Chains A and B, each alone.
Chain A
Amino acid sequence: MTQPAAIPANEEERIARLRMLAILDSDPEVMFDSLTRLAAEIFEVPIALVSFVDTDRQWFKANVGLPGFTETPRDIAFCSHAILETGVMEVKDALLDERFATNPLVTGGPGIRFYAGAPVILSDASRLGTFCVIDRVPRKLSALQRSMLTEMAGAVSHAIEAREITANAKTARIRLEDDLAVIARRTEVLRATIDACPIAVTIADMTLPDATLIYANDAFSQLTGYGRDETLDRNCRFLKGPETSPELSRKLGQAIAAGEQVEVEIVNYRKDGTKFLNRLTLAPIHDKSGKLTAFIGLQSDITFEAQRRDASEQQRAKMAALGRAMGGVAHEINNMLQPVSLLVQDAIDNHFVTPEGAGHLGIVLDCTRNARNIIGDVLAFSRPPSRSGEIHDFSTIFEEILPLAIQALTKHITLSLAMECPPLLIEISRTKFSQILVNLVSNAVSAMGGAGQLTIQLDEDVLESPAQARKAARLRITDTGCGMDATTQERAFEPFFTTKPIGQGTGLGLPLVYALVQETGGFIKLESKPGLGTTITILIPAA
């Protein structure tokens, strides 16, 4: 009777380990084949095997002398018994061993009489199979031979583990290569994005001794004139120059040292030595552990923007100072006019002046009234801006005020109206709107010297402001008059600046319009060509 071998205690783990190796049903491998051939030579046996004991079979990884056999059922396998042993299992004559006497491998087929197998034991102690030698005649191993068989089984288990390490390494490498490919693709997209970014971008590596630049995009080269080869591996301080504020440099240095984000407007220099105002933002980059690794620098040239900003701030400050000064002056003049008005009237009424004298004094009173009106205009500047609280539809209030404004037209001036503004509410008092329109029309009429074409257009536009874009009412008045040269254009909004002969204008028309439009939060623009005419555009934000 054939006696099937007992199932090892840790069978489940053993099988799991075997499967993990992915060695069952694999192709022949030189290492195992060589060891097997070597064993057959050395032990002078016809058959040598590397056998793995699977759930219900033994499978031969290497096979000398049993052509056509790749596996046999586990219940008749000698190796099933051998893996239970600590050392070599030797069956000197199978016919004399009751475990194997009736085994079909003994009685038929390969006709086994002699079997010696050493268990293949991995370093984690799992017994996967055997390394065995088989003969068709009874034999007996010497002590040396038994020890050699054990050694060779050890070599097999080393070969299995080496094979596993190689396979794992291969898998890991493939995974790594895939990951790297993904990272490379993403990096490429990022790089292309930053390359094409219209804002100058630099990256300084904070782990390098001098925090040198490891990246600069095309916009940076365009901004500074430095090519990439002149930029990389240098500290960004090469942009500094004589007019770079030491205070701002210190501020940058402190933020960098503290690893904090910072924004400055600092004077920097291009490669050609020209300077520009750089709006520089430095943002720290930290790794997962929170360590500062890099600083991203964003830079843009705001020279022009800053000039415009300063100019308009200066203009505003100048207007405000003038307004205050004029307010004081106007107050004094009003005081001086007061006794003139009262006492001249009193003289006419009570002091027996001749009719001719009364006529003259009447002229003095008229002058006093005119002076009062002029002073009223002047004081409009010194008054703090106030909300009118009046809301009007732009086109409606325009149509209401227009008849008043065009009283100034002469018969040789043609008026062309283009009212294309959809209903749009604006906040402005009737008085102020009328001051704006009357002054602009009256200026246009004087510029045309009595003949020409006056075009008034109403439309809807958008007022761009730092905070937001708002809908706005646009009033555009174009004349075909004498126009203004550059100097006149520059001073057109300056109080008391006038091109009219003395006595014909106060020089307060346009400045008043300017002040009133500013008060609405609006915008005024003057375009003029000497000899061709002038266009004044005002935008009043929608209420």
Chain B
Amino acid sequence: MASILVVEDVPPVLLSLRIILSGGGHTVSCATDGLMGVRLLTEQAFDLVISDIWMPGLSGIDVINRGRAKSPGTRFLAITGGNPNSGVSPGAAEAEKFGANAVLFKPFEKHELLQIVTALLAEAPAYG
């Protein structure tokens, strides 16, 4: 099973993500803002980082960029509530814009989340 860092400033969203991912058997670390996320990234290697994009202070894009610099093998999943076409499967263009390997637009469903997490972890080299 994998180690996953979730960076999300809205507590209920963070909580629900932790519940679902833990339920999927993963080890989940949580950060409630970008700075905390970056700090955790320097302390520990993660297989996957899931980060919100619009956050006060350090944005998700900054988290992803700094995280990638520190840990090139980590996969990054951006999540955002700012897409007009939520429900439409997000394209590679948006992911690239955020510097992430994939993007999910909120509100996404449980099966969408688990599907994309599985796919990203299959690509990632395993740590520990």
Whether B86 sits at the interface, judged by CB under 8 Å, is yes
Q: In the complex the two chains form, what is the Cα distance from A380 to B88 in whole Å?
A: 13
Chain A residues near B13: list those with CB within 8 A: 335, 338-339
Bound form: Cα–Cα A261–B63 in Å: 57
Given contacts A335-B10, A339-B15, contact A376 B84 (CB under 8 A): yes
Q: Residue on A with the closest CB to B82?
A: A331
Task: Verify B19–A338 contact, CB threshold 8 A.
Answer: no
- B125: CB under 8 A from chain A? no
Taking CB atoms, residues of chain A closer than 8 Å to B56 are none
Measured CA separation A349–B111 after assembly (Å): 11
In the complex, what distance in Å separates the CA atom of A338 from the CA atom of B109?
8
Report B77-93 residues with CB < 8 Å from chain A CB. Answer: 81-87
A332 touches B (CB below 8 Å): yes
Asked if A341 meets B107 with Cβ closer than 8 Å, knowing A346-B23, A380-B84, the reply is yes
Residues of B within 8 A of A337 (CB): 106-107
Q: Which of B1-29 contact A (CB under 8 A)?
A: 10, 12-13, 15-17, 19-20, 23
Report yes or no: B109 in contact with A341, Cβ–Cβ below 8 A: yes
Contact residue among B15, B107, B113 (Cβ-Cβ distance under 8 Å from A334)? B107
Is A318 at the interface (CB under 8 A from chain B)? no
Tell me if A349 and B110 are in contact (CB < 8 A): yes
Whole-angstrom CA separation of A326 from B23 in the bound complex:
35
Residues of A within 8 A of B83 (CB): 376, 379
- Chain B interfacial residues counted at CB < 8 A: 25
CA distance A339 to B86 in the complex (A): 16
Instruction: Considering the complex, give the chain A residue whose CB is closest to the CB of B11.
Output: A339
Which of B20, B81, B105 is close to A332, meaning CB atoms less than 8 Å apart?
A: B81
Please judge, given known A-B contacts A376-B84, A379-B84, whether A343 and B106 are in contact too, CB under 8 Å. Answer: no
Partner of B81, one of A331, A339, A350, A365: A331
Q: Which of B23, B81, B84, B85 contacts A338 (CB 8 A)?
A: B81
Q: Given the complex of chains A and B, what is the CA–CA distance between A368 and B111 in angstroms?
A: 15
A471 at the binding interface (Cβ < 8 Å) = no
Q: In the complex, what residues of B have CB within 8 A of residue A377's CB?
A: 84
Q: Which of B82, B84, B85, B107 contacts A368 (CB 8 A)?
A: B107
- Listed by A's residue number, 26 A-B pairs whose Cβ atoms lie within 8 Å are A332-B81, A334-B86, A334-B105, A335-B13, A335-B81, A338-B16, A338-B81, A339-B12, A339-B13, A339-B15, A341-B110, A342-B17, A342-B19, A342-B20, A343-B19, A345-B110, A345-B111, A346-B19, A346-B20, A346-B23, A349-B110, A368-B107, A371-B107, A375-B86, A376-B85, A383-B84
Whole-angstrom distance between the Cβ of A432 and the nearest chain B Cβ: 11
B87 touches A336 (CB 8 A): no
The 8 Å CB contact of B16, one of A333, A343, A369, A431, is A343
Q: How far is the CA of A480 from the CA of B109 in the complex (A)?
A: 42
Interface string of A333-370 (1 = CB under 8 A from B): 11111111111011001100000000000000100110
Query: Residues of A contacting B111 with CB < 8 Å?
Result: 345
Q: Which residues of B contact A48 (CB under 8 A)?
A: none
Closest 4 CB pairs of A and B: A334-B81, A339-B16, A337-B107, A379-B84
Q: Kindly provide the distance from the CB of A381 to the nearest chain B CB, expressed in whole angstroms.
A: 8
**How far apart sit A294 and B92, CA to CA, in the bound complex (Å)?**
67
Q: Given that A372-B86, A372-B87, A379-B82 are contacting pairs, would A334 and B106 also be in contact in the complex, using a CB cutoff of 8 Å?
A: yes
Q: Which of B12, B23, B109 contacts A336 (CB 8 A)?
A: B12
User: Please, which residues of chain B bring their CB within 8 A of the CB of A350?
Assistant: 23
Q: Are A369 and B87 in contact (CB under 8 A)?
A: yes
Judge if A35 is at the interface, Cβ distance under 8 Å: no
* Distance, CA A447 to CA B120, complexed state (A): 49
Q: Given A375-B86, A380-B84, A342–B110 Cβ distance below 8 Å? A: yes
Q: For B85, what are the chain A residues with a Cβ–Cβ distance below 8 Å?
A: 376, 431
Least distance between B90 CB and chain A CB atoms (Å): 12
A299-342 interface with B by 8 A CB criterion: 327, 330-342
A383 to B13, CA, bound (A): 24
Q: Identify which of A327, A342, A371, A372 contacts B82 (C-beta below 8 A).
A: A327
Identify the closest chain B residue to A431 (Cβ): B85
Question: Nearest Cβ distance between residue A365 and chain B, in whole angstroms?
Answer: 8
Say how far B109's CB is from chain A's closest CB, in angstroms: 6
Minimum CB–CB distance for B21 against chain A, Å? 10
A-chain residues with CB within 8 Å of residue B23 when the two chains form the complex: 346, 350
CB of A9 to closest CB in B, whole Å: 105
Taking the complex as formed, is A55 at the interface, i.e. its CB lies under 8 A from any CB of chain B?
no
CB of A375, distance to nearest CB on chain B (Å): 7
A373 on the B face (CB < 8 A):
yes
Q: Are B16 and A376 in contact (CB under 8 A)?
A: no
Specify the chain B residue showing the minimal Cβ separation from A344. Answer: B110
One of A327, A330, A341, A346 near B108 (C-beta < 8 A): A341
| Residues of chain B lying within 8 A (CB to CB) of residue A349 | 110
A365 to B112 alpha-carbon distance, docked (Å): 14
Given known pairs A343-B16, A343-B19, A346-B20, the reply for A338 and B107 (CB within 8 Å) is yes
Shortest distance from the beta carbon of B118 to any chain A beta carbon, whole Å? 16
Give the distance to chain B from A155, nearest Cβ to Cβ, in Å: 110
The reply to whether B107 and A340 contact each other, CB–CB distance below 8 Å, is: yes
B19 touches A373 (CB 8 A): no
List, in ascending order, chain A residues with CB within 8 A of B19's CB: 342-343, 346
Extra contacts besides A335-B13, A350-B23 (17): CB < 8 Å? A327-B82, A331-B54, A331-B82, A334-B86, A335-B10, A337-B106, A338-B10, A338-B13, A340-B107, A341-B110, A345-B109, A369-B87, A372-B87, A375-B86, A377-B84, A379-B83, A431-B85
Cβ distance A210 to chain B, nearest Cβ, rounded Å: 63
Min CB–CB distance A348 → chain B (angstroms) = 9
